[in-house]
Structure 1
Amino acid sequence: MISIVPISDVEPQAVEHLLDRAFGTGRHERTAYRIREGMPAIPRLSFAALEKDALVGTIQCWPILFDGDDGRDVPLVMVGPVAVEPARQRDGIGRDLMLSALNAAVATGDAAALMLIGDPEYYGRFFGFTADRTTEWRVPGPVEQRRLLAMGDSVPNGGGMLGPRIAALA
C-alpha cells in the first residue's frame, strides 16, 4: 500500500538518491534546475510516496517568476520533478503524487499559475497542462518549446523569461 506524506517526513538524502536513480547524476545540468536555482521547494506542495516505509516516489514544487517582456512579473509554481523508483514506474505512483500536489495547490490558493516541463500528451491528457500560453516563454537553457506547459487562470501569455523567484513562498 502506497502512502503519500509531506516530503519533509523523508530524509533529504533519500530524496536526492531517488532523484539520481530516476534521472541520473547529471540531472543538475537540466534546464529545470536553472529555472529554480537557489530556491527551496515549497513544503506544502511537495510530497513523498512510501511503501512499507521505503521511499518509492517524490514530487517537489518550486517558486519561480515569469519576467515579462512587457515589464510585468508573474509568480508561478514550477511543478516537478516527479521521481519514481525506476522499478516502480508505470504503477500509478507518479499520477498519485501529481494529484496530491495539484490538490494541495488548489487547497492553498497556489493553483493560479502552475508550470512544468514535460510530455504534453501525458500532462495535457491527465492534468490539463497546455502550451497554449507558453509559446513565447524563454528559459535559461535548452528546452523543447512544446514541453513547456502551464495551467491556471493567472498564467501569463506573451514573451518573458522564467527564473527563480527571489522572495520564496513561505
Structure 2
Amino acid sequence: MLIRRETPADIDAIRTVTNLAFKNGPEAPLVDRLRADEGWIPEFSLVADGVIGHVVGTRGYIGDDFPALGIGPLSVHPDHQRSGVGKALMHAVLGAAEARGERAVILLGDPNYYSRFGFRLAAEFGITPPVPEWAPHFQARLFGDVPAGAFRYAEPFNRL
C-alpha cells in the first residue's frame, strides 16, 4: 500500500472519501477549513492508494504553548474498511510525527482501536480535552516528556 502526502489534485477525492466514511458528517468541511488554518502542517496530511483513505494531523497545544499534534479525522472508504488502510495511515502519520520531533500526538476516538498504536487515555498524562465529555475517548501517545494541561486543537475544531 502506498502512503503519500496529499497533493492539490487529491482534495476532491479526500472530500468524497471523508463524506462516505462519516456519512456526510462535519468531518469533510472540517478538513477543508483546516487546510486554510495556521495549524495546517502539509507533511501530516496523508493519503492511501489513490485516496481510498486519508489522515490529517494539525498543530494543537497543551496548555498555553506546548506544541502537540492533533490527529483527525482518519477516513477510509467504506469499501476498504477493515482491510488495513486505517492501520497503515496511522503507522505512517505516527512515524512522521516521531521523525519530525513531535512529543505528543492527541486524538479523539475508540480506545479499543487506537490502543494498538500505543495511545492511552490522555487523563493518564494529565492532559484534558477541550470538552469534558470527551474524556472517555480522548487519547494521547507520547514520544517524550510533556506537561500536563488542557489540550487545544487547531481553531477549526472549535466550530464543530
Post-superposition CA distance 1:140-167 (Å, at most 9, x none): x574311100121234324x252327xx
Q: Which residue matches 1:138?
A: 129
Cα distance change of structure 1 residues 92 and 10 upon mapping to structure 2, 3 Å threshold: farther
Query: How many residue pairs are counted as aligned between the two chains?
Result: 149
Give the root-mean-square deviation of aligned CA atoms. 2.7
Runs of 4+ in structure 1 over 6 Å off: none
Cα distance change of structure 1 residues 149 and 103 upon mapping to structure 2, 3 Å threshold: same
Structure 2 residue identity aligned to 1:16? R
> Rg larger in 1 or in 2?
1
Q: Which residue matches 1:100?
A: 92
Of 78-87 and 6-15, the range deviating more from structure 2: 6-15
Gaps spanning 5+ residues in structure 2: where? 156-160
Secondary structure of 1:11's match?
A: helix
Cα distance change of structure 1 residues 102 and 13 upon mapping to structure 2, 3 Å threshold: same
| TM-superposed deviation, 1:25 | 2.1
Structure 2 residue identity aligned to 1:84? V
- The percent identity for this pair of structures is 29
Maintained 8 Å contact 2:44/2:56: yes
Q: Which residue matches 2:109?
A: 118
Structure with greater proportional helix content: 2
Q: Which residue matches 1:168?
A: none
Gaps spanning 5+ residues in structure 1: where? 166-170
* In structure 1, C-alpha distance between the alignment counterparts of 2:7 and 2:17, rounded to whole Å: 15
**TM-score scaled to structure 1, two decimals?**
0.75
Secondary structure of 2:40's match?
A: coil
Maintained 8 Å contact 1:120/1:130: yes
